[in-house]
Structure 1
Amino acid sequence: MSYATQKLAEEKVFKDPVHRYIHVRDQVIWDVIGAKEFQRLRRIKQLGTTYLVFHGAEHSRFNHSLGVYEIVRRIVDDSFSGRPEWDDSERLVVLCAALLHDLGHGPFSHAFENVFGLDHEYFTQQIILGDTDVNKILKRVSEDFPQRVADVIGKTYPNKQVVSLISSQIDADRMDYLQRDAYFTGVSYGHFDMERILRVMRPREDQVVIKSSGMHAVEDYIMSRYQMYWQVYFHPVSRSAEVILTKVLHRAKALSKMGYDFKQQPTHFRGFFDGTYTLNEYLALDEGVLLTYFQLWMSEDDPILSDLSDRFVNRKLFQYIEFDLAKDYMKMKELELLFKKAGIDPEYYLVFDSSSDLPYDFYRPGEEGERIPIHLLKPNGEIRELSRESDIVEAISGKRRTDHKLYFPEDILTKDGKKKALKKQILDLLT
């Protein structure tokens, strides 16, 4: 028996709060789960700084990755298997891609990426293709198997059916994180009828389609996603924590370039500060490492690094107001000047932040980041794009919603002491 078809002597299961059980029957999947690069995902939170708002949001990328794998396993084993439009030889590659799709996430994910100009999908592919335990396991299937898995994640795999299961506007990734994040944050917005959606999914040539009888379940899924983004993912308090996190890292990087003598040398960050990092250095970072540095940096002599580290560790977050930089550009310049006069560095303590989301989009060929739409399969065999059949989806299609905030340390501005009148002038502008 080849390694690709080798089954475990006894099925392994993981208890899961969303899917009840995660089923593992393939030796390859079991071995990949045990690889150190995959186990590292236990130390990366799924929702970054959101645990500082929703205290239950402590779940990890490890949880989510298993959940995405389980959804794809159910689709290919229960819904697609035996259908002429589905090639069963693609089963293992899509299961591995589902399991490994988030392998390259760094600590606090997007905030960390933004500071150092990184891309987690790039690192996911590098881990799969590099000198790693995951690569060695995948190569036991075949010499080109790691590349095939990486191509699915990179959306360059020739079978678009396979890619769409992992990355589309209705994919296993979204179906898991919406439900999982709703469960752990304690909100009700992310719940939808996944069972119904899985029952009506069908393979068709280069895409996966939904039987038109399941349209209402898809509408519910899209509205759930819309609500989760604005109630959870873009929560202004979570964004405040992320602003402080990014400013801690920016300050440490700036101090390193200035030759500042750290009490606690940022050994784990040197390669990221100067752009010479290696894959092993990237893999050595997790959220435990960052939080340890932040706790140590609270004792640094640099008052900005010390204060920002203390704010993040002990949840002393910035206040915020609605603020449109395009309309209030001169007001921003005035605030920056007043902050400097008050002895508060606006680079670190006056931060504009913007979030936006496009809940659903139809096909716009040639556009950057074009989205493959959701297609419905009519009883007569006709395939129709979702927004042409659903009034609800049509109403939000192609409409990007954007939210702008200005973050600042209200506690500093209200504290008695020097330059009290100047600080009051700043507060008056901000309120």
Structure 2
Amino acid sequence: MKIEMLPREKVFRDPVHNYIPVRERVILDLINSPEMQRLRRIKQLGVANTVFQGAEHTRFTHSLGVYNIAREICDNFQQDYPTKTPGDGLWDDSERLVTLCAALLHDIGHGAYSHTFEHIFHTDHEAITRQILTDPSTTVNAILRGVSPEFPAQVASVIDHSYPNPQVVQMISSQIDADRMDYLLRDAYHTGTNYGLFDLTRILRVMRPYAGGIAFNPSGMHAVEDYIVSRFQMYQQIYFHPVSRGMEVVLTGILQRAKELYEDGKFTEDEKPRLLLPFFEGKFDLADYLALDDGVMTTYFHYWMKSTDHVLADMSARFLDRRPLKSAQFNHSTAHLLPAMAKIVDEAGFDSRYYTAKNSSYDLPYDQYDPTSATPKTQIEIMERDNTLEELSTLSPLVKAITGKVTGDERFYFPKVMLTSPDSPDFKPEYGKFQRYLAAGSVIDPAIYGK
């Protein structure tokens, strides 16, 4: 396989990695493809910018970052662990291009407001990523076919974990991979927090290939520990933030209401979202999917603020004007109160189908490898001097303390007006009734999430 190199290295300036160099023609062509450029119009953290105002970064910048980390790993492996004989378990640099392409393209199938859109319209961004890579109608596919006819399928197999070299797969998708390492650092930078910071340079230096995938030298164990803890903290403080989840509930309500209005024939011609109709009808194709981005969706929300349907108009205004629903925690002992609370919200003049929601956020920060699991995860292995492998949590008391521990909470979302003070002239009896249920449930004070 002959790889065309650029006459001069191309660099992208990046706030996390400084300069990101591109040397291969195919990589630059992929970056310039319409499918990749679409990612400039999709925010990496969805609605999190309503809480962390700096979180305006995109799937495009993240994808370049993942490419760059994978490139650095390949460089280190080729310098320190180049293969000497076939099957020796060391790094074969002929795997570089498929690795770099998979790293760059791993998120290309994400849709507008990624996860909320997937939930409503039952799309699968990983399946669509593979489709973009292998569908002859895409520019990305044409570029990959320029390498070889089999190359698009090879890159797609890295994404779905069926590629035969586990080193390549684990570099892109494992418990410590180029994807996670970039988004933790990038999200921490753009949210203005320090939770996601860890020693990337040290981790890359202690990574090493072996026949079964990727392991880490013992001298780097503490850097890996730091990464695990950083990931844990980012999920709790950033990704699971209650206000972000409240905005996602509003976004879900908008899309659900719009879909139902269309199905009931209640949209006026001016209100019909032409680019969303294939999804409302469940008959979308790849071209329909690629026509959507965050900006397209936001434009429809602007139109719908003037909708004749009160719910659609109000929910759209809430989203655009940043008026999230409030929330309170609940658990198995207080969940029985939620139906009554939803009914009170109805009595107060809100349709509880849209203005209330249960939202769960749970994460497993680290888990030991379980080959009997339906979806076994790649464990983090430390390679000792005698080349024996030890799973990380058996060596690290810090990691062992959070291994297998599921973290998160369940929250009930409702309109902020339900918390109106009895001293207010706008107070209604329903509000007092609702607040008594909150107190009876022994939930945390929802007012602390009022930012």
TM range (shorter): over 0.9
Equivalent in 314, 321, 341 of residue 328 of structure 2? 321
User: Is 1:80–1:202's contact at 8 Å kept on the other side of the alignment?
Assistant: no
Say if 2:155 is the partner of 1:149: yes
TM-aligned CA deviation for residue 418 of structure 1 = 8.9
Summarize the alignment of residues 166-205 of structure 1 with structure 2, pairs less than 5 Å apart: 166-205=172-211
The 3-state SS of whatever aligns with 2:174 is coil
Cα deviation, 1:30-75, whole Å, max 9, x if unaligned, reads 1100100000000000000000000000000000000000000011
Give the root-mean-square deviation of aligned CA atoms.
1.5
Residue segments in structure 1 that go unaligned for 5+ positions in a row: none
Looking at structure 2, the residues matched to 113 and 369 of structure 1 have their Cα atoms a distance apart, in angstroms, of: 21
Counterpart AA for 2:273:
P
TM-aligned CA deviation for residue 279 of structure 1 = 0.3
Summarize the alignment of residues 121-160 of structure 1 with structure 2, pairs less than 5 Å apart: 121-130=126-135, 131-160=137-166
Cα deviation, 1:374-429, whole Å, max 9, x if unaligned, reads 00011222111101111111111111113111111122663978992123212322
> Which residue does 2:125 correspond to in 1?
120
> Which residue does 1:349 correspond to in 2?
355
User: Is 1:338–1:422's contact at 8 Å kept on the other side of the alignment?
Assistant: yes
Equivalent in 36, 42, 45 of residue 43 of structure 2? 45
TM-aligned CA deviation for residue 5 of structure 1 = 1.2
> Which residue does 1:83 correspond to in 2?
82
Counterpart AA for 1:340:
D
Say if 2:303 is the partner of 1:296: yes
Looking at structure 2, the residues matched to 422 and 412 of structure 1 have their Cα atoms a distance apart, in angstroms, of: 8
Say if 2:116 is the partner of 1:108: no
Looking at structure 1, the residues matched to 321 and 227 of structure 2 have their Cα atoms a distance apart, in angstroms, of: 36
> Which residue does 2:435 correspond to in 1?
427
User: Is 1:79–1:198's contact at 8 Å kept on the other side of the alignment?
Assistant: no
Residue segments in structure 2 that go unaligned for 5+ positions in a row: 84-89, 440-451
The 3-state SS of whatever aligns with 1:275 is coil
TM-aligned CA deviation for residue 264 of structure 1 = 1.7
The 3-state SS of whatever aligns with 2:275 is helix
Cα deviation, 1:194-230, whole Å, max 9, x if unaligned, reads 1001111100002100001100000000000000000
Looking at structure 2, the residues matched to 311 and 11 of structure 1 have their Cα atoms a distance apart, in angstroms, of: 47
The 3-state SS of whatever aligns with 2:276 is helix
Cα deviation, 1:242-269, whole Å, max 9, x if unaligned, reads 1111111011011111111233211111
User: Is 1:79–1:199's contact at 8 Å kept on the other side of the alignment?
Assistant: no
Say if 2:263 is the partner of 1:265: no
TM-aligned CA deviation for residue 332 of structure 1 = 1.1
Looking at structure 2, the residues matched to 412 and 312 of structure 1 have their Cα atoms a distance apart, in angstroms, of: 18
Answer with 332-341 or 309-318: which moved more: 332-341
Say if 2:316 is the partner of 1:309: yes
> Which residue does 1:250 correspond to in 2?
256
> Which residue does 2:24 correspond to in 1?
26
Say if 2:72 is the partner of 1:74: yes
User: Is 2:11–2:21's contact at 8 Å kept on the other side of the alignment?
Assistant: yes
User: Is 1:104–1:124's contact at 8 Å kept on the other side of the alignment?
Assistant: yes
Looking at structure 1, the residues matched to 173 and 10 of structure 2 have their Cα atoms a distance apart, in angstroms, of: 27
Looking at structure 2, the residues matched to 235 and 336 of structure 1 have their Cα atoms a distance apart, in angstroms, of: 22
> Which residue does 2:445 correspond to in 1?
none
Answer with 337-346 or 178-187: which moved more: 337-346
Looking at structure 1, the residues matched to 181 and 162 of structure 2 have their Cα atoms a distance apart, in angstroms, of: 22
> Which residue does 2:447 correspond to in 1?
none
TM-aligned CA deviation for residue 328 of structure 1 = 2.5
> Which residue does 2:63 correspond to in 1?
65
The 3-state SS of whatever aligns with 1:148 is helix
TM-aligned CA deviation for residue 276 of structure 1 = 0.2
Counterpart AA for 1:83:
P
Give the fraction of aligned pairs with identical amino acids, expressed as a percent.
Answer: 50
Looking at structure 1, the residues matched to 355 and 419 of structure 2 have their Cα atoms a distance apart, in angstroms, of: 11
TM-score w.r.t. structure 2 length?
Answer: 0.92
The 3-state SS of whatever aligns with 1:268 is coil
Cα deviation, 1:62-97, whole Å, max 9, x if unaligned, reads 000000000000111233355221111111001000
Counterpart AA for 2:286:
L
The 3-state SS of whatever aligns with 2:360 is strand
Cα deviation, 1:109-153, whole Å, max 9, x if unaligned, reads 111111111111011011111110000000000001000000101
Summarize the alignment of residues 348-427 of structure 1 with structure 2, pairs less than 5 Å apart: 348-411=354-417, 414=420, 420-427=428-435
The 3-state SS of whatever aligns with 1:96 is helix
User: Is 2:82–2:93's contact at 8 Å kept on the other side of the alignment?
Assistant: no
TM-aligned CA deviation for residue 372 of structure 1 = 0.9
TM-aligned CA deviation for residue 339 of structure 1 = 2.4
User: Is 1:229–1:357's contact at 8 Å kept on the other side of the alignment?
Assistant: yes
Counterpart AA for 1:205:
A
Task: Decide whether aligned partners of structure 1 residues 51 and 419 sit closer, same or farther in structure 2, where only a CA change above 3 A counts.
Answer: closer
Answer with 400-409 or 134-143: which moved more: 400-409
User: Is 2:418–2:434's contact at 8 Å kept on the other side of the alignment?
Assistant: no
Counterpart AA for 1:188:
N
User: Is 1:323–1:405's contact at 8 Å kept on the other side of the alignment?
Assistant: yes
> Which residue does 1:8 correspond to in 2?
6
User: Is 1:80–1:203's contact at 8 Å kept on the other side of the alignment?
Assistant: no
TM-score w.r.t. structure 1 length?
Answer: 0.96
Looking at structure 1, the residues matched to 278 and 328 of structure 2 have their Cα atoms a distance apart, in angstroms, of: 36
